[in-house]
Chain A
C-alpha cells in the first residue's frame, strides 16, 4: 500500500519561505499570485493491507515525527 502525507503550516503561522517564493513568482511576471505557503510531501510505502489500520499508523507517524503539530497540520491520503 502506498500513501501520501502532506504537511502544511497552520494558518496564522508566518511562512517567510512562502513569502520569498511569492515575491519570486511575481518577479517572473506571474501576475495575480496571491499568498503562497510552502509545505512538505512524504510518499510512504507500507506492507499493511488493511486500509483503516494503515491510516491509523500514518496518523501516528505524523503525530510522533513527520509533523510538528505546534505549527503544522497534516493530511493522509492512501493512493
Chain B
C-alpha cells in the first residue's frame, strides 16, 4: 500500500508523519507540495499537523485554498483514503471535505498533553483494528481543536456513526461539542482528528496505541 504526505509552509509534524508511514508500511511516502496539481497513485494521503501559513485568517483557511487541495479532493472523490491530523483536520474542514468547524480551545490555552480516546466507531478503514468502545492513549498539541457543528449537522454525524474518536474519561482538552476528537466523511474515506496517532507508534514513544490506525488504513498485518 502506497501513501503520500502533503507538504505546506508552516507545517511542522510532516517529518513525524513521514517517519510513521515509513516505519509502518516499510516504504517512504511520496511527498506533494502545495502548488502540485497532481498526486501520485497512492492508497492513502496524509495531511500532517503544524501551523500552515502561520494560522493566518483561520487555522487551515489558506492551505485549504492551495492547488494541492483540489488534487486531494479529486483523489478523495475517487475513493482514495485521506487522513488529516491536527492542522490537517482543520484544513479538511476549511476545504469543505469534512463538516463543521474547529474553534479556539474553550480554555483559550494551547494544550500539549496526552489524552484518552474512545473508539466511537470501529467500523471504518481507519479504526477496524480497534475494538468498539476501546480506550486508547494519544498525544494532543493544539490551540484550536474545539470542534463545532450546528445541531442538524451534529445529529447527522452522530446518527450515521461519523464520530470516530471521542475524548474519554473527562480528558476533553478543548471543549469540543459531544467530546468529538475525530470525524469521518459520509463515504468513509476521509478522516480528520485533532490527536496525533503518528506520535505513539513504537516503544520509544512510550506506547504504540496509534499504530493500529495506520495498519488498518494501509491493510498491514499487526
On chain A, the residues within 8 Å of B57 by CB distance are 65-66
CB neighbours (8 Å) of B146 from chain A are 14, 16
Can you show 27 pairs from A to B with CB atoms below 8 A apart?
A: A13-B103, A13-B148, A14-B103, A14-B106, A14-B146, A14-B148, A14-B175, A16-B103, A16-B104, A16-B105, A16-B106, A16-B108, A17-B104, A17-B108, A20-B108, A65-B57, A65-B61, A65-B65, A66-B57, A68-B61, A68-B94, A68-B101, A70-B100, A70-B148, A70-B149, A70-B150, A71-B103
Q: Report the nearest B residue to A20, measured CB to CB.
A: B108
Segment 48-91 of B: residues with Cβ below 8 Å from A: 57-58, 61, 65
Q: Whole-angstrom distance between the alpha carbons of A69 and B86 in the complex?
A: 21
Q: Is the interface of B mostly helix, strand, loop or mixed?
A: loop
- Chain A residue at minimum C-beta to C-beta distance from B151: A12
Chain A: number of interface residues, binned into ranges = 10 to 19
Contacts of B58 in A (CB 8 A): 68
Q: With contacts defined as CB atoms under 8 Å apart, how many contacts are there between chain A and chain B in the complex? A: 36
From A13, A20, A66, A68, name the one whose CB has the most chain B CB atoms within 10 angstroms.
A68
Chain B residues with Cβ below 8 Å from A14 are: 103, 106, 146, 148, 175
Given contacts A16-B108, A68-B61, A71-B148, 14 further A-B contacts (CB under 8 A): A13-B103, A14-B106, A14-B146, A16-B103, A16-B107, A16-B146, A17-B108, A65-B57, A65-B65, A70-B100, A70-B101, A70-B148, A70-B150, A71-B101
